[in-house]
Amino acid sequence: MKKYIFYLLFSLICASTTAQGQPEFDLVLSGGRVMDPETGLDAIRNVGISGNKIAAISTGALRGKRVLDVTGKVVSPGFIDLHVHGVSNTEQEYQLHDGLTTALELEWGIGPLKAWYAQRKSNALINYGASVCWPYERFRALEKFREQAEQLKESSRLEPYTLINTIKQITPSYTEVPDDSEMRQTLKNIEESLQAGGIGIGIPIGYLPQTNPTELYEVYKMAGGSDALLFTHVRTPDMSGLQEAFSNAILTRAPLHIVHLNSMALGNIELALNMLKDATSQGHRITSEVYPYTAASTALESAMFDPGWQQRLGMSYEDLQWVATGERLNKDTYEAYRKKGGVVIMHMMQPEWIKTGLRAEGIAVASDGMMYAPLAHPRTAGTFTRVLGKYVREDQALDLMTALKKMTLIPARILEDIAPAMSQKGRLQEGADADITVFDPATVSDQATFEGGLEFSKGVTYVLVGGALVLDQGNTVPNLYPGQPIYGKFRE
Ligand SMILES: [Zn+2]
């Protein structure tokens, strides 16, 4: 809290002073219902912003160069998404309308990382960042793929950095077992990318399910030794996949975040949640997240659909929806599209599993949002407002403060050890970063659907990123790119 007081004093000095001796803030949000999940504040307050910081929260009137009347609206810390695959401004605009101020690609990560951070600089709508992509770092360590890795590095400069672009290229390396020197090189590559600013390490073993357990354990050991947070999509969507992740993390003391628990545990979500609770109560740093939809989505050419997928995932052809056209698949179209490659939506979960996951204490909301396509999975555009509209207002599955906590404070706390900048986010307090989302609790709702495709969410009125008003009266402010990079603590 000391640092907040310092920032407060600093901000007050920065705020210009009027003739009456009253400070004038750059922006004032007046008369809103201010909600802060860390302190529990839930009251009508005025919020004064100076530069990129929250400088005052007050019952008294505040003077501002610009004053926005937000009566009847909720003023919340900006939403933080731990899991997006769409990392360009096209997807960020959907995320902005969904109330996000920070969106991070942590499951798969990005390679090459340094070039990507450089490309996004001064060019992002909201805050951005990524983990080190272990599949990429091992790919470029394998002698056999050296040339392809160089090509991938080159093409990444020109093409958008997306999960799908790299999955296609890296797929042939899945069955390789690195020798000792390739393993050493993989770890060295990971270390270099952590030093380039990577937020921990993405180990999406579910996309490389044949990886030797020894190889995976080496990465856990490295993470445990250097206190680097791991993000994993587990090897198989069942308890054995989850148990492998738990045991590796506990034995190596590696901090671990398990992505989309809903699609990893499936019908075993209660058991998985109990294991998480036990791990936490024993002092292990293992966390997780859910998204509020009953369908998953990924690349049809990925190893997820290697033979036996129907049994592994409890699905058949007609549960798959081809994103390019919206059609449901059959055996023939499945085979043709798998050869061609592209994204599918997988209708595979029960509504009760989602509610159980969303209600569980300590679990974050994260979207797993995909790359833009008109018929992409609706989570790409509507995850956060869907929780507020459907699960809080309509179904009353959880209360508003709990839901906001899962979108702000919990993701910030999951990350603040590995990414120190996050300790200033996810809070609506004096001295915290002015990343703020203002929404109408009576109308906030997702608009994207499986049938109709992506639409901007409704009911989010204002979004501030580092004090800059980037969503104004529900409209994107043109030519404004206040998004800042979020880096890991090993950056040199
Ligand atoms: Zn995943």
pLDDT of residue 5: 52
The Å distance, Cα 181 to ligand 1 centre, comes to 29
**Does 484 reside within a domain?**
no
Instruction: Say how many C-beta atoms besides its own lie within 10 A of residue 407's C-beta.
Output: 28
Which residues on adjacent β-strands are paired with residue 132? 110, 201
pLDDT string in tens for the chain (492-residue length): 444 555 555 555 445 555 456 789 999 999 999 999 999 999 999 999 999 999 999 999 999 999 999 999 999 999 999 999 999 999 999 999 999 999 999 999 998 999 999 999 999 999 999 999 999 999 999 999 999 888 888 887 767 677 777 888 888 888 899 999 999 999 999 999 999 999 999 999 999 999 999 999 999 999 999 999 999 999 999 999 999 999 999 999 999 999 999 999 999 999 999 999 999 999 999 999 999 999 999 999 999 999 999 999 999 999 999 999 999 999 999 999 999 999 999 999 999 999 999 999 999 999 999 999 999 999 999 999 999 999 999 999 999 999 999 999 999 999 999 999 999 999 999 999 999 999 999 999 999 999 999 999 999 999 999 999 999 999 999 999 999 999 999 999
Q: Are residues 198 and 329 in the same domain?
A: no
Q: Distance (Å, rounded) from C-alpha 362 to C-alpha 366? A: 13
Question: How does DSSP classify residue 38?
Answer: T
Structural domain that includes position 324: 298-342
Q: Are residues 186 and 247 in the same domain?
A: yes
Q: How far is the CA of 261 from the centre of ligand 1 (A)?
A: 9
Between the CA of 197 and the centroid of ligand 1 the distance, in Å, is 22
Domain boundary pick from 288, 320, 342: 342
Neighbours of ion ligand 1 (CB under 5 A): 233
* Cα 417 to ligand 1 centre (Å): 23
Give the domain CATH number at 172: 3.20.20.140
User: What is the residue whose two structure tokens read 């009027």?
Assistant: 18
Residue 482 within any structural domain of the chain: no
Q: What pLDDT sits at residue 343? A: 94
Closest alpha carbon to 298 in 377, 357, 364, 354: 377
pLDDT score recorded for residue 154: 83
Domain end marker among 420, 441, 463: 420
Asked if residue 487 belongs to a domain, the reply is no
pTM of the predicted protein model: 0.94
Ligand 1 centroid – CA 44 distance (Å): 39
Asked if residue 182 is part of any domain, the answer here is yes
| Ligand 1 centroid, distance to 123 Cα (angstroms) | 27
Residues 63, 163 within the same domain = no
Ligand 1 center–CA 105 separation, angstroms: 11
As a whole number of angstroms, the distance between CA 90 and CA 95 comes to 9
DSSP string, 415-477: HTTT-GGGGGSS--STTSB--EEEE-TTT-B---BTTTB----BSEEEEEETTEEEEETTEEP
Question: In total, how many domains does the chain have?
Answer: 3
Find the angle CA(1)-CA(363)-CA(130) to the nearest 5 degrees.
Answer: 75
Cα 465 to averaged position of ligand 1 atoms, centre (Å):
27
In angstroms, the CA 243 to CA 234 distance is 9
CA 412 to centroid of ligand 1, rounded, Å:
20
Same domain? For 138 and 149 the reply is: yes
Residue 237 CA to ligand 1 centre (angstroms): 10
**Ligand 1: distance of its center to the CA of 43 in Å?**
38
* Residue 490 forms part of a structural domain: no
Question: Cα of 305 to ligand 1 centre, how many Å?
Answer: 13
User: Tokens 């090189």 identify what position?
Assistant: 185
Task: Look at residue 20 in the predicted model and tell me its pLDDT.
Answer: 59
233 alpha carbon – ligand 1 mean position (Å): 5
Distance 487 CA to ligand 1 centre (A): 22
Closest CA to 113 of 195, 196, 190: 196
Please give the sequence-ordered ranges of beta strands (E in DSSP) within 339-395, or none if there are none: 343-347, 364-365
Q: So what's the pLDDT on residue 2? A: 44
Q: Is residue 481 part of a domain?
A: no
In 3-state terms, the chain is what percent helix, strand and coil (to 5)? 40, 25, 35
* Rounded distance from Cα 344 to ligand 1 centre (Å): 13
Question: Token match 């899991």: residue?
Answer: 83
Alpha-carbon distance of 352 to 200, in angstroms, equals: 32
Q: How far is the CA of 232 from the centre of ligand 1 (A)?
A: 8
Strand-pair partners of 80: 102
Q: 40 CA distance to ligand 1 centroid (A)? A: 32
Same domain, 379 and 328: no
Q: What b/e sequence results for 361-391 when a residue is b if at least 16 CB atoms lie within 10 Å of its CB, and e otherwise?
A: eebbbbbbbbbbeebbbbbbbbbbbbbbbeb
Q: Has residue 315 been placed in a domain?
A: yes
* Domain co-membership, 72 together with 102: no
In a domain, 396, yes or no: yes
Exposed/middle/buried for residue 130 (C-beta within 10 Å: 0-12, 13-18, 19+) = buried
Question: DSSP label at 200?
Answer: S
CA 489 to ligand 1 center in whole angstroms: 24
348 shares its domain with 395 = yes
Residues 242, 139 share a domain = yes
Q: Which residue has tokens 């109990």?
A: 274
CA of 492 from ligand 1 middle (Å) equals 29
* 20 C-alpha to ligand 1 centroid (Å): 56
Q: Which two tokens stand for residue 184?
A: 């050493």
CA of 259 to the centre of ligand 1 (A): 7
Q: Cα of 263 to ligand 1 centre, how many Å?
A: 8
**Are 365 and 291 within 8 A, CB to CB?**
yes
The per-residue pLDDT for 440 is 98
CA of 107 to the centre of ligand 1 (A): 7
Cα-to-centroid distance, 260 and ligand 1 (Å): 7
Q: How far is the CA of 108 from the centre of ligand 1 (A)?
A: 8
The Å distance, Cα 83 to ligand 1 centre, comes to 9
